[in-house]
Structures are given as C-alpha cells and as structure tokens.
Chain A
Amino acid sequence: EVQLLESGGGLVQPGGSLRLSCAASGFTFSSYAIQWVRQVPGKGLEWVTGSSGIGGATYYPDSVKGRFTISRDNSKNVVYLQMNSLRAEDTALYYCVRNRGPWGHDAFDFWGLGTMVTVS
C-alpha cells in the first residue's frame, strides 16, 4: 500500500525556518517524482516544489524560489522541504504528493494527509 507521511509542521515566527519531512512506503521510491502542494484551509491548491525520481531535478515556483529547498534521500525513502525566510502567506497545510511517473509530467496519484505550517 502506497503511503506518504508528512511531519515537521508547526508554529514559526515570520522570518524563521522549518523543515518538513515526507516518509514514503509501499512503492519504489526512486522511480517516482515527488511534489509538495499546499492549501490554505478553506482555499485552493498551490504547487510548492517538486523533485523528479530519476536524476532528482528540482523545480520551484517564483513564490518560493530562493526560500524553499526540496531534497530527497532515495536510500531512506524520504523527501525533505527546507523552508527559510517564512512569511505569513506561507501558512497552509502542506501535502506530500506522488506523481504517477518519474519525470513529473503526470498527475498526482497519491497524497499524504498533510502537515500544518503556521507562520505567526
């Protein structure tokens, strides 16, 4: 059974840092791209960052570029999201998400339950 378990969320002051983790199980981790998607409670979905399964290329939208860093440890089946210079607008529920394939050019077929980040 595919599982994605996020951890590391919490309350942080503006300008602070937080590192989220996503522990994956139930599939060949290195063969899949992994993304982070966030959602302000009651609002829509926003893609945050991602890492391809092969080669580990990383991608960021302008809203987090230079502040957030995604990394993955294929030996431990874990993805990390290092978030620096946090702002109030980063407050959201952060989901770890798996692409259907290794390159990211695909839909998101499994989602974790999310971890809440509050910047205040």
Chain B
Amino acid sequence: EVLMTQSPATLSVSPGERVTLSCRASQSVTRNLAWYQQKPGQAPRLLIYDASTRATGIPARFSGSGSGTEFTLSISSLQSEDFAIYYCQQYNNWPPYTFGQGTKLEIK
C-alpha cells in the first residue's frame, strides 16, 4: 500500500498570498496523483489530476506539479473561498487508492 504524507497539517495564510502544499508518496506513483478540495459540509471536489492538469472549471490560480514521489499544489493569490482542506490521492498502485491526511488552509 502506498502511504501518502501531506505537509504541513495546517497552514495559516492571508488572502492574496501564494501558498504551496506538499504531498509525498512512499513509493513512485509516476504522475497518477490528484488533488481535492473539501469545504465544511461539502463533498471533496477534484482540482488537479495527472499531477498537473486542472479539472474542468478550476481556476488558473491552482496549479500542480511533481512526479514520482514528490508533488506540490500551489495556489496563487489566495481567495476567501480557497480556505478549505486539501487532500492528495494516488491512483497509480491500486487497489487500494490512498489519500493523504489532508492540509487545512486557514485564514491568518
């Protein structure tokens, strides 16, 4: 089973700032990595798939990069609606699909 580790667990940032979230896999997942955003009381929403491809309707301020075991999600110029929990997920070595434990983005 591939273990996904996200860092940091919580990130306090101000609106308008740029932020980078990290995700590390315990073994290579090539580029089969997705990022999801979850707001309170809502289901997760796909942001990025294949490590760097934005899903339909996702603003350009969201970008993903990485391959192998190291991945990042960047959000340029944070908007108020971006404060949420972000999860990474690998779909390279499945079953099982595995998720990171999440990074909570909170307002500073």
List residues of chain A with CB under 8 Å of any chain B CB.
35, 44-47, 50, 59-61, 95, 100, 104-114
Question: Of A46, A50, A109, which one neighbours B46 at CB under 8 angstroms?
Answer: A109
Q: List B contacts of A35 (CB < 8 A).
A: 97
Question: Do A59 and B89 touch (CB < 8 A)?
Answer: no
Q: List A contacts of B50 (CB < 8 A).
A: 107
Q: List A contacts of B49 (CB < 8 A).
A: 100, 106-107, 109
Q: List A contacts of B45 (CB < 8 A).
A: 111
Question: Of A100, A107, A111, A113, which one neighbours B89 at CB under 8 angstroms?
Answer: A107
Question: Do A105 and B34 touch (CB < 8 A)?
Answer: no
Q: List A contacts of B46 (CB < 8 A).
A: 107-110
Q: List A contacts of B56 (CB < 8 A).
A: 109
Total contacts A-B at CB 8 Å: 61
List residues of chain B with CB under 8 Å of any chain A CB.
32, 34, 36, 43-46, 49-50, 55-56, 87, 89, 91-92, 94-102
Question: Of A47, A106, A109, which one neighbours B95 at CB under 8 angstroms?
Answer: A47
Question: Do A44 and B102 touch (CB < 8 A)?
Answer: yes
Question: Do B43 and A47 touch (CB < 8 A)?
Answer: no
Question: Of B32, B44, B101, which one neighbours A105 at CB under 8 angstroms?
Answer: B32
